[in-house]
């Protein structure tokens, strides 16, 4: 059951706005969404349409998904980033936080997902379906 979903254009400006909208979720959920959305920006391109979903599974785990329209740009966990590297830590963080993660390819899109321990938003109610600012609205 999807508890929260947002379609947006993946831009650097959208990342903190999405994180703000997820304030009722714990830090690990917000961090994983941020890292997956940043991967879309870095590897598919700024302005790419994306969908963020968060669902509480029957197992009690929280599933985070980010879907984008490029099934070819697959995430790859590489060796550790060097001390002076400015990038390369996102998937390592995701791998460390998540119980499991993966990629689902479906036609002309892909979904990168992860499952985390923990359940619904911190206040125990469904996250608000807040109207996103212009930075996170899908292109209309």
**pLDDT tens-digit series, residues 82-139:** 555 455 567 788 888 899 999 999 999 999 999 999 766 766 444 444 444 445 544 4
The pLDDT assigned to 86 comes to 53
User: With 0-12 CB in 10 A as exposed, 13-18 as middle and 19+ as buried, what is 94?
Assistant: buried
pLDDT in tens, 48-78: 999 999 999 998 899 999 999 998 876 666 6
pTM: 0.79
């Amino acid at each position: 059951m999807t508890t929260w979903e947002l379609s947006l254009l993946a831009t650097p400006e959208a990342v903190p706005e999405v994180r703000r909208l997820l304030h009722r979720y714990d830090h690990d959920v917000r961090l994983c969404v941020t890292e997956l959305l940043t991967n879309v920006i870095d590897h598919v391109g700024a302005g790419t349409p994306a969908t963020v979903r968060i669902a509480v599974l029957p197992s009690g785990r929280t599933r985070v998904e980010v879907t984008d329209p490029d099934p070819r740009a697959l995430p790859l966990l590489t060796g550790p980033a060097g001390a002076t590297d400015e990038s390369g830590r996102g998937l390592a963080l995701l791998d460390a936080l998540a119980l499991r993660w993966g990629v689902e390819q479906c036609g002309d899109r892909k979904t990168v997902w992860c499952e985390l321990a923990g359940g619904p938003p911190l206040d125990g109610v469904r996250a608000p379906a807040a109207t996103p600012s212009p930075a996170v609205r899908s292109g209309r």
